[in-house]
């Protein structure tokens, strides 16, 4: 039967070195046995040393990408990544609302691990107003959670409050990815707050490696893939967290500096 196979969509930027952005999403969809489709919002030129240039796709092209996918596929879940600026966020939100692409996982990408901006400073308010309320799951890291809630996070209590604030802003389920504090424990813990009110921590080891590009993209993509296959939100988050943990632990040596995680790791 046509369109029975689980299909997922990434609305994100292309990263030429394959370690992050749309490429990490598509690697993840593939390995998680989900057919991957894409709406490309921007392209960045870079490698394991960093990002050196970027361009944004034109409005008519974005509209056409959405239309073409909607005309032919049965997408069961979608995720957002790099959206670059206010206009792009508005355009993506308009198109997402127009069609049926299933639940939305919002990875509120702001800046790379190595300091390259992927969202214009003045676009944050639009992201909060227009995109966060559409999120079935929002997946900020520590820094992004602080930016979105406009509050410093220093303790477990602060993390919980940030997650609650994100729910108040309209996201249904939240995972805040933990931060490793230099010199402290060799653990990182992610905090999850579900729509039902249930909350829990996911503890994992901290891996001291330079091969962590695309970790956030891959986590949100793995959640999206699981949702597309019909897995519950809680299990999707748990499975994705475990998958990314293994992909960091069993890294591959690609590029000379900051490398990718290993999407094949099991
Ligand atoms: O990992 C965040 C990210 C998202 N999207 C694009 C990127 C990166 C990091 O490099 O290049 C396009």
pLDDT tens readout for residues 135-157: 999 999 999 999 999 999 999 99
Domain contains 174 = yes
3-state secondary structure of 107: coil
- Which atom of ligand 1 lies nearest, measured to the CA of 82? 5
Domain contains 222 = yes
What integer pLDDT is reported at residue 210 of this predicted model? 92
**Which of 88, 105, 109 best tests ligand 1's pocket when mutated (most atoms within 8 Å of CB)?**
109
Q: Is the pLDDT of residue 85 over 90?
A: yes
Q: How far is the CA of 254 from the centre of ligand 1 (A)?
A: 17
Q: How far is the CA of 21 from the centre of ligand 1 (A)?
A: 4
Instruction: For ligand 1, atom 4, name the residue with the nearest CA.
Output: 21
- Which atom of ligand 1 lies nearest, measured to the CA of 214? 1
How many structural domains comprise the chain?
A: 1
Domain contains 260 = no
What integer pLDDT is reported at residue 115 of this predicted model? 85
Burial bucket for residue 125 (CB in 10 Å: 0-12, 13-18, 19+): exposed
Q: How far apart are CA 207 and CA 250, in angstroms?
A: 10
Domain contains 179 = yes
Q: Is the pLDDT of residue 74 over 70?
A: yes
Per-residue pLDDT, averaged over 88-101, amounts to 98
Contacts of 9 (CB under 8 A, 6+ apart): 36, 37, 38, 39, 69, 75, 77, 78, 79, 101, 224
Domain contains 2 = no
Q: How far apart are CA 146 and CA 151, in angstroms?
A: 5
Domain that holds residue 32: 7-249
Q: Is the pLDDT of residue 182 over 70?
A: no
What integer pLDDT is reported at residue 185 of this predicted model? 73
Q: How far is the CA of 76 from the centre of ligand 1 (A)?
A: 23
The whole-angstrom distance between residue 93's C-alpha and the CA centroid of its chain comes to 16
Which of these ranges, 124-138, 171-185, 205-219, has the smallest mean pLDDT?
Answer: 171-185
Domain contains 21 = yes
Domain contains 82 = yes
pLDDT band at 187 (very low <50, low <70, confident <90, very high): confident
Output the ligand 1 site: residues, CB below 6 A. Answer: 12-13, 15, 20-21, 44, 51, 81-82, 109, 112, 118, 214, 216-217
> Domain holding 154: CATH number?
3.40.1190.20
What integer pLDDT is reported at residue 265 of this predicted model? 94
β 187-193/173-176 pair status: antiparallel
Looking at every residue in the chain, the average pLDDT score rounds to: 96
Per-residue pLDDT, averaged over 72-94, amounts to 98
Instruction: For ligand 1, atom 5, name the residue with the nearest CA.
Output: 21
Domain contains 122 = yes
């Amino acid at each position: 039967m046509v369109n029975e196979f689980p299909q997922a969509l990434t609305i994100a930027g292309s990263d030429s070195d394959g370690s992050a952005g749309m490429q990490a999403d598509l690697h993840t969809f593939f390995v998680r046995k989900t057919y991957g489709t894409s709406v490309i919002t921007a392209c960045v030129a870079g490698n394991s040393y960093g990002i050196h240039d970027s361009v944004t796709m034109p409005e008519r092209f974005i509209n056409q990408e959405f239309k073409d996918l909607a005309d032919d596929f049965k997408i069961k879940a979608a995720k957002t990544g790099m959206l670059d600026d206010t206009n792009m966020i508005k355009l993506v939100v308009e198109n997402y609302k127009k069609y049926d692409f299933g639940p939305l996982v919002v990875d509120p990408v702001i800046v790379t691990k190595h300091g390259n901006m992927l969202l214009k400073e003045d676009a944050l308010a639009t992201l909060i107003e227009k995109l966060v309320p559409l999120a079935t799951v929002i997946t900020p890291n520590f820094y992004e959670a602080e930016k979105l809630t406009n509050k410093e996070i220093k303790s477990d209590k602060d993390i919980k409050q940030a997650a609650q604030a994100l729910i108040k802003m309209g996201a249904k389920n939240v995972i805040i990815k933990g931060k490793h504090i230099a010199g402290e424990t060799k653990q990182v813990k992610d905090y999850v707050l579900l729509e039902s009110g249930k909350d829990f921590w996911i503890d994992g080891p901290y891996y001291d490696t330079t091969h962590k590009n695309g970790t956030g993209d891959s986590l949100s993509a793995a959640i999206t893939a699981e949702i597309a296959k019909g897995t519950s939100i809680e299990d999707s988050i748990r499975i994705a967290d475990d998958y990314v943990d293994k992909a960091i632990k069993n890294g591959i040596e690609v590029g000379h500096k900051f490398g990718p995680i290993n999407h094949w790791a099991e």
